[in-house]
Amino acid sequence: MNFVESSYVVVLFWQDYTGEDVTVGNFFAAILGNKTALTGGSGKVVDSGPNDHIFIYYTDHGGPGVLGMPTNPYLYADDLIDVLKKKHASGTYKSLVFYLEACESGSIFEGLLPQGLNIYATTASNAEESSWGTYCPGENPSPPPEYETCLGDLYSVAWMEDSDIHNLQTETLHQQYELVKRRTSNDNSPYGSHVMQYGDVGLSKDNIFLYMGTNPANDNFTFMDENLLRPRSKAVNQRDADLVHFWDKYRKAPEGSSRKVEAQKQFVEAMSHRMHIDHSIKLIGKLLFGIEKASEVLNAIRPAGQPLVDDWDCLKTLVRTFETHCGSVSQYGMKHMRSLANLCNAGIGKEQMAEASAQACVSFPSGPWSTLHKGFSA
Pick the CATH number of 253-360 from 2.40.37.20, 1.10.132.130, 3.40.50.150, 2.40.37.10: 1.10.132.130
The CA distance from 170 to 257, in Å, is: 55
Instruction: Round the average pLDDT of the chain to a whole number and report it.
Output: 91
Residue 61: predicted pLDDT = 95
Q: What does the pLDDT look like over 123-140, one tens digit per residue?
A: 999 999 999 999 888 887
What dotted CATH number matches 2-237?
Answer: 3.40.50.1460
Catalytic residue among 53, 61, 245, 276: 61
Task: Summarize the confidence of residues 20-37 as an average pLDDT.
Answer: 96
Residue 72: predicted pLDDT = 95
pLDDT band at 233 (very low <50, low <70, confident <90, very high): low
pLDDT of 10 over the 70 cut: no
pLDDT of 224 over the 80 cut: no
Residue 11: predicted pLDDT = 54
Question: For residues 150 and 134, is the Cβ–Cβ distance under 8 A?
Answer: yes
Residues linked to residue 237 through DSSP beta bridges, in sequence order:
132
Q: What is the amino acid identity at position 56?
A: I
Listed by start position, the domains of the chain span 2-237, 253-360
Catalytic, 150? Answer: no
Catalytic residue among 53, 103, 273, 336: 103
Catalytic, 61? Answer: yes
Residues linked to residue 96 through DSSP beta bridges, in sequence order:
54, 119
Q: What does the pLDDT look like over 196-209, one tens digit per residue?
A: 999 999 999 999 99
pLDDT of 229 over the 60 cut: no
pLDDT of 180 over the 60 cut: yes
SS (H, E, C) the chain: CEEEECCCCEEECHHHCCHHHCCHHHHHHHHHCCHHHCCCCCCCCCCCCCCCEEEEEEECCEECCEECCCCCCCEEHHHHHHHHHHHHHCCCCCEEEEEEECCCHHHHCCCCCCCCCCEEEEECCCCCCCCEEECCCCCCCCCCCCCCCCCEEHHHHHHHHHHHHCCCCCCEHHHHHHHHHHHHCCCCCCCCCCCEEEECHHHHHCECHHHHCCCHHHCCCCCCCCCCCCCCCCCEEHHHHHHHHHHHHHHHCCCCCHHHHHHHHHHHHHHHHHHHHHHHHHHHHHHHHCHHHHHHHHCCCCCCCCCCCCCHHHHHHHHHHHHHHHCCCHHHHHHHHHHHHHHHHCCCCHHHHHHHHHHHCCCCCCCCCCCCCCCCCC
Residue 5: predicted pLDDT = 42
Percentage of the residues of the chain whose pLDDT score is greater than 90: 74
Residue 231: predicted pLDDT = 54
Least confident piece of the model among 57-61, 110-114, 176-180, 241-245: 241-245
More confident residue, 4 or 256: 256
Q: What does the pLDDT look like over 333-374, one tens digit per residue?
A: 999 999 999 999 999 999 999 999 999 999 877 778 788 888
Sheet with 62-63, edge to edge strand ranges: 62-63, 66-67, 75-76
pLDDT band at 215 (very low <50, low <70, confident <90, very high): confident
pLDDT band at 1 (very low <50, low <70, confident <90, very high): very low
Residue 138: predicted pLDDT = 81
The pTM is what?
0.93
pLDDT band at 232 (very low <50, low <70, confident <90, very high): low
pLDDT of 7 over the 70 cut: no
